[in-house]
């Protein structure tokens, strides 16, 4: 991630308004995974497909470089707890984590007025939206859901080195090997991720639940509504928009963790179809390891 963008992320975090009523901080550290169910191949297929919204010959994005979470809007104590938890989730999923004192590239914002916050960010800090088209940004601003998430996007060659641009702004790939239908010469990746949530949407949730939800929205390009419509697998992504008084996971589920592990251990240079196939095998292996069918 380039220095200007990380600097903007840090500046934006410090400039965003704090919310007066922080969420409660958990007294004890929660286990990363607490829930498992009987595994079915078709359910794994539906779950992975719903979490990887990319065309067959497109590509699935992830962070190529170490993540550095930051949180604002819930007060210093709760924000620090969110960062600790997201860091624990990243490490458990084998996502590289930056050293202490790093410049944030994963920003979690809690606010009263999500749409206005996103609109303000788009005007004052356009680098938050790098790689996105204006219609995408307008949809984010108009989105009425209680939480929105997006990733600033870049592109690297197959070795993970950032692509340079020519004088006309076009990306240049200096690799000389030829891509195939199963493998590509370059790949997309996340420069940064932002999660913006309405304060009222957090009523009844613990810091752990919200941090795990934010991790699933930030470390992967996920849509809770798409997942809910396509899959019945238990996921922390149901925590924010679940109907009142309905049960939600207490933490990241075994399905969630298996998905994150599969995303970050699969071959990022494959087309989406190939990578999904590999991810499904990893998820199945992770969920069934040591368990009776």
- For the stretch 228-285, pLDDT in tens is 999 999 999 999 988 777 788 999 999 999 999 999 999 988 889 999 999 999 999 9
pLDDT of residue 256: 98
pLDDT of residue 183: 53
Asked whether 268 and 292 are in contact (CB, 8 A), the reply is no
- Whether 62 maps to a domain, the answer reads yes
Domain membership of residue 172 as a residue range: 3-23+30-288
- Whether 293 maps to a domain, the answer reads no
| Mean pLDDT in consecutive groups of 10 residues from the start of the chain, 293 residues | 46 44 53 58 94 89 94 95 97 96 96 96 93 95 96 76 53 50 68 96 94 98 94 94 83 97 93 94 88 47
Closest CA to 49 of 60, 64, 62, 36: 60
pLDDT of residue 32: 67
pLDDT of residue 285: 94
- Whether 219 maps to a domain, the answer reads yes
- Whether 228 maps to a domain, the answer reads yes
- Whether 118 maps to a domain, the answer reads yes
- Whether 104 maps to a domain, the answer reads yes
pLDDT of residue 33: 59
What is the C-alpha to C-alpha distance for residues 12 and 99, in angstroms, rounded to an integer? Answer: 21
pLDDT of residue 21: 45
CB burial class (10 A; 0-12, 13-18, 19+) of residue 118? buried
pLDDT of residue 22: 46
- Whether 134 maps to a domain, the answer reads yes
Mark 133-143 as b/e (b = at least 16 C-beta within 10 Å).
eeeebeebbee
Tokens of 283: 């998820």
pLDDT of residue 99: 94
How many structural domains comprise the chain? 1
What is the C-alpha to C-alpha distance for residues 218 and 220, in angstroms, rounded to an integer? Answer: 6
């Amino acid at each position: 991630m380039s220095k200007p963008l990380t600097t903007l992320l840090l500046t934006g975090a410090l400039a965003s308004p704090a919310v007066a009523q922080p969420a409660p901080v958990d007294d004890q550290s929660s286990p990363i995974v607490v829930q498992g169910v009987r595994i079915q191949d078709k359910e794994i297929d539906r779950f992975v497909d719903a979490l990887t919204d990319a065309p067959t010959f497109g590509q699935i994005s992830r962070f190529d470089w170490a993540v550095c979470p930051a949180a604002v809007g819930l007060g210093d104590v709760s924000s620090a707890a969110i960062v600790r938890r997201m860091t624990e989730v990243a490490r458990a999923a084998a996502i590289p984590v930056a050293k202490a004192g790093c410049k944030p590239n994963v920003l979690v914002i809690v606010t009263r007025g999500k749409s206005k916050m996103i609109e303000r960010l788009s005007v004052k800090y356009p680098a938050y939206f790098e790689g996105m088209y204006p219609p995408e940004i307008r949809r984010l601003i108009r989105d009425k859901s209680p939480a929105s998430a997006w990733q600033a996007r870049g592109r690297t060659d197959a070795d993970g080195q950032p692509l340079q641009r020519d004088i006309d702004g076009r990306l240049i790939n200096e690799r000389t090997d030829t891509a195939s239908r199963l493998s590509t010469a370059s790949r997309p990746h996340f420069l940064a991720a932002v999660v913006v949530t309405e304060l009222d949407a957090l009523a009844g949730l613990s810091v752990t639940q919200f941090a795990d939800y934010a991790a699933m929205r930030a470390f992967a390009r996920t849509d809770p509504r798409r997942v809910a419509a396509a899959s019945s697998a238990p996921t922390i992504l149901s925590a924010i928009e679940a109907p009142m008084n309905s049960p939600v996971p207490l933490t990241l589920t075994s399905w969630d963790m298996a998905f994150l592990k599969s995303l970050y251990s699969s071959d990022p240079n494959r087309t989406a179809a190939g990578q999904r196939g590999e991810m499904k095998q990893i998820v199945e292996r992770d969920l069934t390891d040591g368990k009776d069918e």
